[in-house]
Amino acid sequence: MFLDLFFPNRCLACEEIISANTILCDICEEKLSFSHFKFDSENPLAQKAKLLFPIEQAYALFIFKEENLAQNLLHRLKYGDQEFIGKHFAHWIFDKIKITEIDEIVSVPLHPKKLKRRGYNQLTLFGNELSKLYKIPINHQLLKRNFHNKAQAQKDKQHRTETESLFSVIENPENKHILLIDDVYTTGNTLASIAWEILKHPNTKVSILVVAMD
């Protein structure tokens, strides 16, 4: 109560005072570029991903656009030490789609050097909250990133394709349907690299869920 009085929660966009446990006022939330996709195999994200690797279902919460509010929130989550935003993304997703027939949720790992520098993986709290809401186990040990590479957004188009052997599967996902989660789907090469490693194992399936689709 004391903190609410002297340090009220404020909208991350317009700084209006808002209720606790929210990050945007109602007016600013309406400005978000929600995709309105279903979690299925026919939406635009699924169609793009199918060109690179076999998937069962796909979903993006936002349509990514430069300089918009969704982009700002993602930047705060990833680089602004505001990991709590991922928890709110998970709740927005839970309010919009049903996820069934998934055995494990798996997030794209950071290389240990990048994890140490940033201090957190922006997908960890997000993934943990999805796991809690949907009652689906999350596995933080399935994947290992083998190389410390530049962020996809900082690469030119030629180098964005250099993702072969970037990841290793260090636990056996045999007979499992894996939901891969990431922050932004750009070229799709990172998720494709992971998916093909998982699909080497017998009777595996892959679906994807991202915060935003470019």
H or E element: which one contains 49?
Answer: helix 44-50
Q: How far apart are CA 31 and CA 52, in angstroms?
A: 32
Q: How far apart are CA 209 and CA 57, in angstroms?
A: 8
List the Cα angle 197/126/187 in 5-degree steps.
Answer: 45
> Diameter of the chain by CA atoms?
57
Q: Which residue segments constitute the domains of the chain, with CATH numbers given?
A: 1-31 (no CATH), 32-213 (3.40.50)
Measured in Å, how far apart are the chain's first and last C-alpha atoms?
41
Q: Which two tokens stand for residue 145?
A: 């990133």
Average confidence (pLDDT) over 118-131: 96
pLDDT, averaged across the chain: 90
Average confidence (pLDDT) over 31-42: 96
pTM: 0.89
From the DSSP assignment, how many helices (H) and strands (E) are in the chain? 9, 6
pLDDT at res. 127: 98
Of the candidates 137, 134, 199, which has an alpha carbon nearest to the alpha carbon of residue 173? 199
pLDDT at res. 149: 62
Q: How far apart are CA 137 and CA 159, in angstroms?
A: 34
H or E element: which one contains 165?
Answer: none
pLDDT at res. 4: 54
pLDDT tens readout for residues 93-114: 999 999 999 999 999 998 889 8
